A and B are shown apart, each in its own frame.
Chain A
């Protein structure tokens, strides 16, 4: 059974800081890994998708890496802004197109 863990569970940083969110998964037989953002009480916004054959993806200030063999992914956020405050979720896609989610990292970027 796939298990996804995210560390830290919560993070508070001052504006402008670079930060790293971590995600680990137990079964390396995945099709891809996605990072999502969720604002309170809202749906999920897809940030980055890394195919299992890829090592990293970049979008603006976001960079995500994937090491499938070790079961790890990191999301790097450069020059954080208050608007980045949200919960960040990683999810891996396994058999049956099922997404298994981590429990998320709640990020607060303070002025």
Chain B
């Protein structure tokens, strides 16, 4: 069984550009979570999507947004990129009515 898959593995963008990160959950999982792991700041909760709806949001500015598609895959969009957005972005998924989260390998976003 395939795990959580994220693409791309690495992404390099220029300050002010937009970045789109993608996540495919484990088959049968309906919830997708996004986390940011910036150097020195630890893992911070970004967003939770379940059944296509945004259910919870962390303390991040509105330029961090996303969506969940009917097949439960998800996109994270970061607009007006800043140097501080450079981080490893991790996606996780969980099964219906289950809280245990399974993580992907992440997308390394570098803003130059």
Contact = CB atoms under 8 A, between A and B. Distances in A.
A91 B100 CA distance: 11
Given A98-B58, A99-B35, A46 B100 contact: yes
Given A96-B56, A101-B42, A32 B104 contact: no
B74 interface: no
Majority-rule SS of B interface residues: strand
Interface residues of B, number: 26
Contacts of B33: 97, 99
Nearest to A43: B105
B89 to A, nearest CB: 10
B55 A42 contact: no
A93 B108 CA distance: 25
B27 to A, nearest CB: 17
Given A32-B100, A46-B100, A96 B48 contact: yes
Interface in A32-61: 32, 34, 36, 41-46, 49
Nearest to B106: A43
Nearest to A46: B102
A41 B88 contact: yes
B103 interface: yes
Contact of A100 (B45, B100, B104, B108): B45
A91 B104 CA distance: 16
Contact of A99 (B4, B50, B101, B106): B101
Interface string A68-100: 000000000000000000000101010011111
Nearest to A32: B99
A28 interface: no
A96 B48 CA distance: 8
Interface of A: 31-32, 34, 36, 41-46, 49, 89, 91, 93, 96-104
Interface of B: 4, 6, 31, 33, 35, 42-43, 45, 48, 50, 55-56, 58, 88, 90, 92, 94, 99-106, 108
